[in-house]
Amino acid sequence: MIDATPVIAIFDVGKTNKKLFLFDEHYEIVYQTSVQFAEITDEDGDNCEDIKALRRWIFNSLNEVLALKQYNIKAINFSAYGASLVYLDNEGHELTQVYSYLKPYPGRLKQNLHITHGDEKILAMQTASPALGSLNSGWQLYRLKYGQPGVYAQVSSALHLPQYLSYLLTGKAFSDMTSIGCHTALWDFDNNDYHHWVKAEGLTGKLAPVMPGNKTFSAEINGRHIQVGIGLHDSSAALIPYLISFKEPFLLLSTGTWNISLNPFDQTPLTADELEHDVLKYIQYQGIPVKASRLFAGYEFEQQVKRIAAHFGRDEARYKHMEFDADVSARLKGADTQAQFSDRDLGAFATDVEAYHQLMIDLVVHQKRSTAMVMNGTPVKQIFVDGGFSKNPVFMQLLAAAFPAIEVFAASVAQATATGAALAIHQAWNSKPWPTDMIALKHYPAKVDVKNTV
């Protein structure tokens, strides 16, 4: 392998798309592949991950890239959605299906948990986890204990999905703070330990020892010794390129189906009001809390663009690259309204351009409120927007107008989640310094004539 390019392999496992990337030492993607699996159903008929198909794909695709003579795989790491647990017995076999975080949660169990361990709002504040049912993975383990006690008794390790994927290669079961610290209801943020309800229920006996996010272990794979990371929660992994590239206080607005505002510099405790407005905390790979707020903006955008296109007889593709029109924006209703665009009568708009700009104004009004929830007195100097909305000039210009005292940038990192997972174990495989040009930025100045719109 004298002439083979040293690379790291990253498995990036999303709910829909499962991807494998090879990055060279400059963090350029030199190989990638992607698959999708149809979901299967659990014993209750609810959709869930096909863990057997995922496991087969991990091993088959890894064998394929290990056979490529032009690459020398020095390390492997994983990023994955985190709110799902894999229950393993003493021999490392899965005991159940990997239940979906969308699975309905029994109201009786939720009630019993709070009767036994305390008020819902207090527990939510202490664990920085709004009560989200199965999306709180700690509640999933509680459900297994009382819903399937015979299975629960056989559990040797309950692993979040990223750590399970690592376990497949190393045979070592560990927990990671980025998964534990993401709306799991497991972690007491004030005491930096598992919450008392978790200990009182004995759940800690089912949870693997905690390891730092940059920890690796040597695994023999196809006769080669390769460093393998313990995996990261995907939202935390996506933040890593920004933490490495920027030292001044910033906020990352990660956009997609959900728009998530991430502030690594806000260390204030969560308040009851913040929890009511869907604010929570993540823990990034260095163990530091990150305050985050969520807005269901991407889904709303897609639905309303369809409505506009249908009403005006236009092609939806027209709105992907529509430029910002300050004159149109200035004529429309701005920050004085709390309206949802879905409640607006499209017949009130003369053109689809007007309707589209009103949609974006309404979205940014709500985005401003959501993002401001996690700027609690911190000296944020820059907002970086990545994901789908970063490519939307109307959204970006209105957002810049909404925060005139802060520099707003459209940011682009090629596969930020996978890149973050690679950077997390940089020292284990890469002798070169961290790159300084990972993130492409486009500045959007706050135009005076649209500041009052949002």
Looking at 3.40.50.2300, 3.30.420.40, 2.40.30.60, 3.40.50.1360, the CATH number of the domain 5-230 comes to 3.30.420.40
Render pLDDT for 160-171 as a digit per residue (tens, 0 to 9).
999 999 999 999
| pLDDT above 70 for 1 | no
CA 451 to CA 440: how far, in whole Å?
26
Q: Structural domain boundaries of the chain?
A: 5-230, 233-454
Q: Which amino acid is residue 107, in one-letter code?
A: G
pLDDT tier at 85 (50, 70, 90 boundaries)?
A: very high
| pLDDT above 70 for 286 | yes
pLDDT tier at 3 (50, 70, 90 boundaries)?
A: confident
The mean of the pLDDT values for the chain is 92
| pLDDT above 70 for 419 | yes
DSSP 142-209: HHHHHH-HHHHHH-SEEEEHHHHHHHHHH----EEHHHHTSS-S-EETTTTEE-HHHHHTTGGGGBPP
pLDDT at 337: 57
pLDDT at 284: 87
Render pLDDT for 346-396 as a digit per residue (tens, 0 to 9).
999 999 999 999 999 999 999 999 999 999 778 999 999 998 899 999 999
Q: How far is CA 284 from each of CA 147, 191, 233, 346, 439, rounded to the nearest angstrom? A: 32, 17, 9, 43, 19
Per-range mean pLDDT, top range of 149-153, 322-326, 335-339, 340-344: 149-153
pLDDT tier at 2 (50, 70, 90 boundaries)?
A: low
| pLDDT above 90 for 450 | no
- Could you please state the CATH topology (level 3) that the domain comprising 233-454 is classified under: Nucleotidyltransferase; domain 5 (3.30.420)
pLDDT higher at 269 or 315 = 315
Q: Would you say 267 and 446 are in contact if contact means Cβ atoms under 8 Å apart?
A: no
Q: Would you say 446 and 404 are in contact if contact means Cβ atoms under 8 Å apart?
A: yes
Query: Which residue is it, tokens 């999303």?
Result: 14
pLDDT at 111: 95
| pLDDT above 70 for 451 | no
CA 189 to CA 193: how far, in whole Å?
7
- pTM for this one? 0.87
CA 242 to CA 213: how far, in whole Å?
16
Q: Which long-range contacts (CB under 8 A, 24 or more apart) does 118-127 make?
A: 118/197, 121/272, 121/275, 123/185, 123/195, 123/197, 124/185, 124/275, 125/269, 125/270, 125/271, 125/272, 125/275, 126/188, 126/189, 126/190, 126/195, 127/184, 127/185, 127/186, 127/187, 127/188, 127/189, 127/195
- Other residues' Cβ atoms within 10 Å of the Cβ of residue 38: 7
pLDDT at 288: 86
pLDDT tier at 321 (50, 70, 90 boundaries)?
A: confident
Query: Which residue is it, tokens 């210009």?
Result: 397
In this prediction, what percent of the chain has a pLDDT beyond 90?
77
Which region among 154-163, 169-178, 233-242, 273-282 has the lowest average model confidence (pLDDT)? 273-282
pLDDT tier at 448 (50, 70, 90 boundaries)?
A: low
Q: Please enumerate in sequence order all residues whose Cβ is within 8 A of that of 56, keeping only pairs 6 or more positions apart, or say none.
A: none
Render pLDDT for 117-146 as a digit per residue (tens, 0 to 9).
999 999 999 999 888 899 999 999 999 999
Query: Which residue is it, tokens 């309303």?
Result: 304
- Interhelix angle 352-372/297-312, rounded to 10 degrees, is 170
pLDDT at 378: 85
| pLDDT above 70 for 452 | no
CATH topology agreement for domains 5-230 and 233-454: yes
pLDDT tier at 84 (50, 70, 90 boundaries)?
A: very high
- Other residues' Cβ atoms within 10 Å of the Cβ of residue 145: 18
CA 98 to CA 75: how far, in whole Å?
27
Residue of 15, 135, 65, 43 whose CA lies nearest to 417: 15
Residue of 81, 71, 127, 118 whose CA lies nearest to 102: 81
Mean pLDDT of 48-64: 97
Render pLDDT for 330-346 as a digit per residue (tens, 0 to 9).
888 664 556 789 999 99
Residue of 259, 152, 253, 169 whose CA lies nearest to 207: 152
